[in-house]
């Protein structure tokens, strides 16, 4: 299982914290977001990690160089980080999607047990980790789930169709990597595809019932989008 962390964006909503650091290096509870992620992945048994950087990538490269060589993640550059949406980072890492993978956003802190439980619950093919929700924040990626399968994903789903939110963690097992890679090609090559969120790939697959839902009841995760999110995590 290879973990791919999407960490290329600038994170303007986290200013001034991201003025001199990539978003993934913003400290939360005395430790960079990325280091929280690496520790949680290692504890869940995932040590093959690739980070997709972009904004201030030299700072990210310097940070990774200080980690032990044995566990140091790989780093690749998304040169389109300033002109494309998150799908551009996935496209940059497309050569790593052939086998089993865990794809995650670089601004999300996930508890170790959540990652391990999700990996154990993954079905053959493509999986999206979700949680039930009755209210949504503006930035939430809304998800419609039916009989354990994802039927739609998008920030613009209406309340009637949205019973879950995405944690931003995609797991592919078996032939799921190839299915996901084919869908990635279809979405990013369509008109306006480079401006899509990478969840559009899941939505593309979900229309044909190709994505399993992994539902978590764990509250131990948070997306760090704004300064108040840091305060919420530290006060938990």
CA separation for the pair 205, 218 (Å, rounded):
26
- Residue range 72-83, pLDDT digits in tens: 999 999 999 988
Q: What is the pLDDT of residue 219?
A: 67
Overall fold of domain 2-218? Spore Coat Polysaccharide Biosynthesis Protein SpsA; Chain A (3.90.550)
- What is the distance between the alpha carbons of residues 140 and 148, in angstroms, rounded to a whole number? 20
Q: What is the pLDDT of residues 42-62, one digit of tens each?
A: 999 998 999 999 999 999 999
Give the model confidence (pLDDT) of 136-180 as tens digits. Answer: 888 889 999 999 999 999 998 888 888 899 999 999 998 899 999
Residue in 19, 10, 12 with CA at minimum distance from that of residue 226? 12
CA distance 25 to 164: 28
pLDDT of residue 11: 86
Extents of the domains making up the chain: 2-218
10 Å CB burial of residue 142 (0-12, 13-18, 19+) is buried
């Amino acid at each position: 299982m290879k973990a791919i962390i999407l960490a290329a964006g600038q994170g303007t909503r986290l200013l001034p914290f991201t003025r001199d650091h990539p978003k993934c290096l913003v400290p939360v509870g005395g430790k960079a977001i990325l280091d929280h992620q690496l520790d949680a992945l290692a504890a869940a048994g995932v040590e093959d990690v690739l980070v997709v950087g972009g904004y201030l990538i030299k700072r990210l490269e310097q940070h990774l160089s200080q980690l032990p060589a044995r566990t140091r993640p790989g780093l690749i550059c998304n040169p389109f980080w300033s002109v494309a949406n998150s799908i551009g980072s996935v496209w940059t890492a497309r050569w790593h999607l052939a086998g089993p993978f865990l794809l995650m956003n670089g601004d999300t802190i996930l508890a170790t047990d959540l990652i391990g439980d999700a990996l154990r619950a993954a079905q053959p093919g493509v999986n999206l980790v979700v949680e039930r929700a009755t209210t949504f924040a503006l930035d939430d990626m809304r998800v419609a789930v039916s009989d354990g399968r994802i039927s739609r994903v998008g920030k613009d789903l209406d309340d009637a169709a949205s019973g879950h939110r995405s944690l931003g963690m995609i797991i592919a097992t078996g032939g799921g990597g190839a299915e996901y890679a084919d869908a990635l090609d279809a979405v990013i090559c369509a008109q306006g595809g480079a401006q899509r969120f990478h969840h559009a790939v899941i939505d593309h697959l979900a229309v044909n019932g190709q994505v399993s839902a992994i539902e978590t009841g764990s509250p131990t995760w948070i997306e760090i989008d704004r300064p108040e999110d840091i305060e919420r995590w530290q006060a938990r």
